[in-house]
Amino acid sequence: MMQGISWTSLSGYGRSVLAAGLISLTAGCAGTHSQPESAMSASSSPAGNVLVSVPETDCEIRVWYNYQVVAIPVINERWITTGLTLEERARRAFDTRHRARMNARYMMSSAEEMKALQARDMEKYGNPDGPTFEYLVQKSLNKGVDRDQAYKKIIASSARTDNGYNEECQ
């Protein structure tokens, strides 16, 4: 779970983002997903309806991003029960985080800041959109980690966010 963020500390906006994030993340999971009861009580709307607003400020976008990735461990547990392989779970966890990263960037209000992040990623990973799945696997293999451990590391890292960026919005 992200540090410093709890259900009770969230604004109405944050709660609607969390509910929307859980719904969007679990939409691809096997089986039927119903919204958590606690998320339902966060709004005054009838059960089954989720009020979702589009994040406008960079901090709202950061909250949205964090809640996209915070659910990955829970969803991974579902993937385990459905029998997905470790590699497939790692790919799905990576893809979930990568999509959240890309969508957050496209929502940013400053094109210059987005370009700065792309330049950082280009220098760090050789790709303006951040590391690729293959890059992360190879990075672990180069450190002497076996493939299964590399996949486990990808799943774990998919749920972590940068505390430095998070602190800017607290």
Provide DSSP, 140-157. HHHTT--HHHHHHHHHHH
Q: In this structure, is residue 13 part of a structural domain?
A: no
CB 150 within 8 A of CB 136: yes
pLDDT one digit per residue (tens) for the chain, 170 residues: 334 444 344 445 454 444 444 444 444 433 333 333 333 334 444 455 555 678 889 899 999 999 999 999 999 999 999 999 999 999 999 999 999 999 999 999 999 999 999 999 999 999 999 999 999 999 999 999 999 999 999 999 999 988 878 888 87
Total number of residues shown for the chain: 170
Q: What stretch of H or E contains 117?
A: helix 111-125
pLDDT at 132: 98
Residues 6+ apart with CB under 8 A from 49: 43
Amino acid at 33: H
Range of the domain at 117: 56-167
Q: In this structure, is residue 93 part of a structural domain?
A: yes
The CA distance from 38 to 129, in Å, is 34
Q: What stretch of H or E contains 119?
A: helix 111-125
The two three-digit tokens of residue 142, written as one number: 């180069």
Q: In this structure, is residue 148 part of a structural domain?
A: yes
Amino acid at 119: A
pLDDT at 56: 85
The CA distance from 87 to 107, in Å, is 30
Q: In this structure, is residue 48 part of a structural domain?
A: no
Q: In this structure, is residue 3 part of a structural domain?
A: no
Amino acid at 157: S
Q: In this structure, is residue 113 part of a structural domain?
A: yes
Q: In this structure, is residue 21 part of a structural domain?
A: no
pLDDT at 93: 98
| Counted domains in the chain | 1
Concatenated DSSP letters of 20-81: HHHHHHHTTSSS-----HHHHTTSSSPTT--------SHHHHHHHHHHHHTTHHHHHHHHHH
pLDDT at 36: 38
Q: In this structure, is residue 29 part of a structural domain?
A: no
